[in-house]
Structure 1
Amino acid sequence: MDPKINTKPAYRPSTERTPLLRTEGGDGHAINSDIQKPQTFPSVLATFIAALGALSFGYALGFSSPATLALTVANGSDPVTSGPNMKLNKATLAWFGSFINIGAMVGGLLAGFLCDYVGRKLGLMICALPFCGGWALLAYAESVALLFAGRISVGLGVGMVSLMVPVYIAEVVSSDMRGTLGAVNQLSITIGVLVAYALGTILPYKWMAIVGIGLSAMHAFGMLFLPETPRWYLGRDMRREAKDSLLWLRGANAPIDDECCSIEQALESQETMSFKEFLKPGLLRPLMISLIMMVLQQWSGVNAVIFYAGTILETAGFSNANLASISIAGVQVVFTLIATLLMDRMGRRVLLIIAGSGMLVGCVAMGVYYEITSDHDGNPKGNLRNTFSPLAITAMLVYIAKFSLGVGAIPWLIMSEIFPNRARSAASGIATFTNWLNSFIVTLTFHHMQVAFGLDVVFWIYGGVCGILVVFVLFLVPETKGRSLEEIEELFEKPSIN
């Protein structure tokens, strides 16, 4: 943090507000109206443009399912590992599904650095570079090495936007809208997954990669017209630019002096950031909450389910797994939209508890389905898969719906809320790295766990993690609904959290 932050005088807004309108009362006397409420449209516009990065994120995740089906070698055929018509075996495809996570781990750490040193806006624009480069490699790769390189490059972009988009949105919207607009990040991810699944039914995966280039370029272009966040400007002693940003976001008649002063006071109370700060309770507690939530989110098994949705549904007896995957992605979008509407009404904790409990039920039901219909090696038992296929699709829909209701969006939203400004970029980078590290492990081990234990046990393991998530939220995660970022920071400085 710039040391000049602690030496500049505090910005003190006037306690007297200039009246904006004069209207006539019933007795003919003039009545002064107070300062108007902030405009909401600019914040909503900024949120949706920034969330185009999350759309690219979701598209990259959803791309895995149709691409895996297209690249899978036919039964009895030998893999073809080079040329325009490559076909890969299951072991190689497990790495194909997992390499995006390796790129995302690095991208999360890089994003923390970029957020601090070039800003949230420019950092989001830079994300287009690894996205476009990776999609180009995937579109034109004629070897396994280039295919993997493309996945890693796209993963780099995914990791960057997974950190930057929630942080940008959290810093440009007001506290009363932060839950609703913060959930737009996850809504955009689910729409991206849906778009990828839908295009997978009509386009070869190489043309899907070209669409990915267009999505990333559109995001970078849209960010050109948005302001940098006022908190980043004030952290660099750029008060005039911060006020211009607030004027753009809140409108000319909003009380931006009060908000500017609140942010500056929080910045002035902060010390220069160093890694030993992570040992202090005010930072250690939110860091541990965020890290544990990221681990539990991934070990609920969601990315394995999304990456291998087509394969899972094929084993459940569906002849057109792509169409079934589209149905699942559609459920994601609908329930994420519901979560967006409920986030600032019900709060984060209630939605997380409801969502985790529903995912537990879905996982148990999926496990029961595979226990009934498959032997230990995954071979079907007679015609039972067709008989019980409604159980499989219902269980998966319940699982995806409840994930979308809370477990998908809220860990990222809370990550963007609970860290103090001086540590937000670094701590968010650590949390993002942790998320993608565990996503890599879960995705890579899914196939091996399936072979070792059977899909029934795999889903029961994921269900157990969902139960742990519910207990963790119930006892250790504070409610952040309606609190400003500065109030949340003060909350963690207290001996107890409530």
Structure 2
Amino acid sequence: MSFRDDTEDGRDLRKPFLHTGSWYKMSSRQSSSILSSSAQMLRDGSISVVFCVLIVALGPIQFGFTCGYSSPTQAEIMNDLNLSISEFSLFGSLSNVGAMVGAISSGQIAEYIGRKGSLMIAAIPNIIGWLAISFARDSSFLFMGRLLEGFGVGIISYTVPVYIAEIAPQNMRGSLGSVNQLAVTIGIMLAYLLGLFVNWRVLAVLGILPCTILIPGLFFIPESPRWLAKMGMTEDFEASLQVLRGFDTDICAEVNEIRRSLASSSKRMTIRFADLKRKRYWYPLMVGIGLLILQQLSGINAVLFYSSNIFKSAGISSSNVATFGLGIIQVVATGVTTCLVDKAGRRLLLIVSTVGMTFSMFLVAVAFYLEDIVSKDSHLYGVYGILSLVGLVAMVITFSLGLGAIPWIIMSEILPVEIKGLAGSIATLANWLTSWVVTMTANLLLTWSAGGTFTIYTIVAAFTVAFVNLWVPETKGRTLEEIQSSFR
């Protein structure tokens, strides 16, 4: 079975290439014009999928820029707007509050108007939020802008990994799914880099760019075929899948597998909370929520949001430069994960990552404890600063090798299609709620005791090692339908 440009009855199978759901319509002339140029460019299936992933990766770049923004701008914003450390901590954490609201609605938005439509909606509050921050004259506009950014990021954080998982071939799903976290690290690195050269207002204006490119880019990629199939749009589903796999590829087997999976799942479109008690639902949901919560409790956001201050506490004078170096290291390490995840497997990388984080954070905790008891005049004082720097770098590398990218990949793979909207919202909400708690308390904990803070993070990392060994299944090399049917 191989689709050409037209079926026997003259219908154009590439029509839904731009389909985003029922929330907007285009004329057939506009559709066919864009389709003809886009389809010519995307004849090869793998090129088509990679192109789609690169477009939606602009969302996670926005996500990362939001995370990294508070680190290089802390001193400037506090001075210009006369904020206290508690007020700035509130500013840093408000993106997580907004993300919680976005997370609650993300699953339902993505189910009702499609993956592309939800990304379009997410881009708008991000743009407004950055403008509000750039023109802020007091804390109220600053806080409002941060909340709006967070709302958009909450939707992006759920929708992008789900979209990538649903369009990717099974042999590329891990690598392409890792692009989500790679894009987040690129966004963080860009915030650190640009923060060295421009003030906080200009940096906020630059934060608009990813979403302003994302919006037109969405018109050139297909909707998720699995979402179209779930919505009963059979023609659109097959055409979207054909575009993604290439027009000369036989998609008959994949079409039949997706149809069988949908036929065997619940006929009801509305899933209640009570339904989540069934093992086929609670087990994958527990694994997804557990990994996303432990990802945040590892303390990575405490390091990324306030890395400049942590480096200052460690006695490193060029703290912003060190922070940018940390961003580069994170991008490189995440790139390595992208290459390895479909070869080494999810479980192995998670175990290596969490074991490495346990030892590296223990090293940072010891360094800060020793620094507290050594005089600043002692020649050993600088050695402890280097020791803490090595530990922080090792923490970021090991986090990026597994715990950064893989929880989102596994969440998007194991949730059954009939509960993906509700369960995905719950898992994403849990992630952002934990992130808010960690971000809000990080500065206060570091003021209390840097050594004690990293001791807490060390204990969490050690628990994560046990959680992965006991509960997390290997999903490498299996289709989404095979993974989800295994829970039945």
Please indicate, yes or no, whether the TM-score normalized by the shorter chain is above 0.5: yes
Letter in 1 for 2:416: P
Query: What is the 5 A alignment of 1:90-105?
Result: 90-105=85-100
Query: What residue number does 1:479 align with?
Result: 474
Give the superposition deviation at 1:72: 3.2
After superposition, the C-alpha distances for 1:446-493 in whole angstroms (9 at most, x for unaligned) are 2232344x1101101101111111111011110000111100011111
Q: Is the contact between residue 299 and residue 457 of structure 2 (CA under 8 Å) also seen in structure 1?
A: yes
Query: What residue number does 1:202 align with?
Result: 197
1:277 and 2:272 matched: no
Alignment equivalent of 2:297, drawn from 289, 296, 299 = 299
Query: What residue number does 1:146 align with?
Result: 141
Query: What residue number does 2:210 align with?
Result: 215
Letter in 1 for 2:55: I
Letter in 2 for 1:358: G
Give the superposition deviation at 1:388: 2.3
Give the superposition deviation at 1:426: 1.5
Letter in 1 for 2:438: V
Provide the secondary structure at the position in 2 that maps to 1:480: coil
1:445 and 2:441 matched: yes
* Aligned mates of 2:186, 2:78 — CA distance in 1: 25
Give the superposition deviation at 1:381: 7.5
Query: What is the 5 A alignment of 1:46-195?
Result: 46-73=52-79, 85-195=80-190
Summarize the Cα distance change of 1:382–1:96 in structure 2 as closer, same or farther, 3 Å threshold.
farther
Alignment equivalent of 1:354, drawn from 352, 355, 373 = 352
Query: What residue number does 2:427 align with?
Result: 431
Provide the secondary structure at the position in 2 that maps to 1:466: helix
Q: Is the contact between residue 126 and residue 220 of structure 1 (CA under 8 Å) also seen in structure 2?
A: no
Provide the secondary structure at the position in 2 that maps to 1:483: coil
Structure 1 unmatched ranges of 5 or more = 1-12, 15-36, 74-84, 494-498
After superposition, the C-alpha distances for 1:344-379 in whole angstroms (9 at most, x for unaligned) are 00000000000001111111111011101125xx99
The list of structure 1 runs, each at least 4 consecutive aligned residues, that deviate by more than 6 angstroms after superposition, is none
Q: Is the contact between residue 45 and residue 243 of structure 2 (CA under 8 Å) also seen in structure 1?
A: no
After superposition, the C-alpha distances for 1:78-111 in whole angstroms (9 at most, x for unaligned) are xxxxxxx313121111111111100011111121
* Aligned mates of 1:349, 1:101 — CA distance in 2: 28
After superposition, the C-alpha distances for 1:21-40 in whole angstroms (9 at most, x for unaligned) are xxxxxxxxxxxxxxxx9721
Summarize the Cα distance change of 1:368–1:125 in structure 2 as closer, same or farther, 3 Å threshold.
same
Q: Is the contact between residue 60 and residue 183 of structure 2 (CA under 8 Å) also seen in structure 1?
A: yes
Query: What residue number does 1:338 align with?
Result: 336
Query: What is the 5 A alignment of 1:2-17?
Result: none
Provide the secondary structure at the position in 2 that maps to 1:127: helix
Q: CA RMSD in A?
A: 1.7
Q: Is the contact between residue 115 and residue 164 of structure 1 (CA under 8 Å) also seen in structure 2?
A: yes
**Alignment identity in percent?**
38
After superposition, the C-alpha distances for 1:280-326 in whole angstroms (9 at most, x for unaligned) are 10010000111111111111000111000011011111112110001
Summarize the Cα distance change of 1:321–1:371 in structure 2 as closer, same or farther, 3 Å threshold.
same
Query: What residue number does 1:309 align with?
Result: 307
Query: What residue number does 2:323 align with?
Result: 325
Letter in 1 for 2:156: V
* Aligned mates of 2:203, 2:376 — CA distance in 1: 33
Give the superposition deviation at 1:330: 0.6
Query: What residue number does 2:14 align with?
Result: none
* Aligned mates of 1:386, 1:321 — CA distance in 2: 14
Provide the secondary structure at the position in 1 that maps to 2:81: coil
Summarize the Cα distance change of 1:202–1:424 in structure 2 as closer, same or farther, 3 Å threshold.
same
Letter in 1 for 2:98: G
Give the superposition deviation at 1:274: 1.8
* Aligned mates of 1:387, 1:349 — CA distance in 2: 36
Letter in 2 for 1:65: S
Give the superposition deviation at 1:237: 1.1
Q: Is the contact between residue 374 and residue 381 of structure 1 (CA under 8 Å) also seen in structure 2?
A: no
Q: Is the contact between residue 368 and residue 384 of structure 2 (CA under 8 Å) also seen in structure 1?
A: no
* Aligned mates of 1:488, 1:197 — CA distance in 2: 39
Rg: which structure is higher?
1
Deviation larger for 383-392 or 184-193 = 383-392
1:250 and 2:245 matched: yes
* Aligned mates of 2:176, 2:453 — CA distance in 1: 34
Query: What residue number does 2:398 align with?
Result: 402
Summarize the Cα distance change of 1:380–1:267 in structure 2 as closer, same or farther, 3 Å threshold.
farther
Q: Is the contact between residue 166 and residue 182 of structure 1 (CA under 8 Å) also seen in structure 2?
A: yes
Give the superposition deviation at 1:382: 5.3
Letter in 2 for 1:489: Q
After superposition, the C-alpha distances for 1:137-175 in whole angstroms (9 at most, x for unaligned) are 010011101101111111111111100100010011111
Provide the secondary structure at the position in 1 that maps to 2:176: helix
Give the superposition deviation at 1:387: 3.0
Query: What residue number does 1:79 align with?
Result: none
1:388 and 2:394 matched: no
Letter in 1 for 2:195: G
Aligned length: 445
Q: Is the contact between residue 306 and residue 443 of structure 2 (CA under 8 Å) also seen in structure 1?
A: no
